[in-house]
Amino acid sequence: SDLREYGSGNTGTTNTFRILGKTAGTATFAIDFLKGTAATLLPFFLHIEGVSPLVFGLLAVIGHTFPIFAGFKGGKAVSVATGTIAALEPVLLVPLAAIFFVTLACGKMVSLASVLCAAAYPLVTLCYQQFFVHAPAAQVGAASVGAAVVGLLVIWLHRGNIARIRAGTEYKFFQKKK
């Protein structure tokens, strides 16, 4: 049986939780998170110079979202992007996790929490680079643009969820299966 035939129709963490339960959902999150982390750290492990780790992270996100061997239908990139962030700037996970879990607690929708984190990610990155790292303008710009690309991709991938949120029909994470 194919997970893509049930629930939201994708292979991501939320759908796996919903269809297969906590153990499978947690395993899916962990694998996808580590996929983003490992890809982002690859240039360090292989001593590759001249290519930003961000590029490797972006490629992991794109490969996860549009996998060749699954008919270009993968997950919505949240777990892989989170792993990428953990490898690049783990401190950014603190404000993003706060946004995610407060939104989830209040709205009970993983999709809404994911979209708000995706929207906040470029701003959180910009503030961190500018005010805490005091990075050069080129680094601030590159990090912010990379964050914006990932954020916009995640939001775009959630466009169906956004329509259901607006219609009041979006799946609530803690609701029982029908």
Residue 77 per-residue DSSP state: S
pLDDT of residue 14: 87
Per-residue b or e along 57-82, where b marks 16 or more CB atoms closer than 10 Å to that residue's CB: bbebbbebbeeeeeeeebbbbbbbbb
> Chain centroid to CA 62: how far?
11
CB atoms within 10 A of CB 95: 16
* Alpha-carbon span 103 to 105, nearest angstrom: 5
Q: Which candidate, 97, 10, 75, places its Cα nearest to that of 19? A: 10
Q: Which candidate, 104, 135, 98, 140, places its Cα nearest to that of 122? A: 140
pLDDT of residue 165: 96
User: Token pair of 161, please?
Assistant: 């969820």
pLDDT of residue 174: 67
pLDDT per residue, tens digit, the chain (178 aa), is 678 788 777 788 888 888 898 999 999 999 999 999 999 999 999 999 988 898 999 999 999 999 998 888 888 999 999 999 999 999 999 999 999 999 999 999 999 999 999 999 999 999 999 888 888 888 888 889 999 999 999 999 999 999 999 999 998 876 655 4
pLDDT of residue 140: 85
Q: Residue 89 to residues 65, 94, 96, 147: CA-CA distances in angstroms? A: 22, 10, 12, 11
Q: What is the dihedral of CA 124, 172, 32, 44, to 10 degrees?
A: 10
pLDDT of residue 1: 67
pLDDT of residue 65: 92
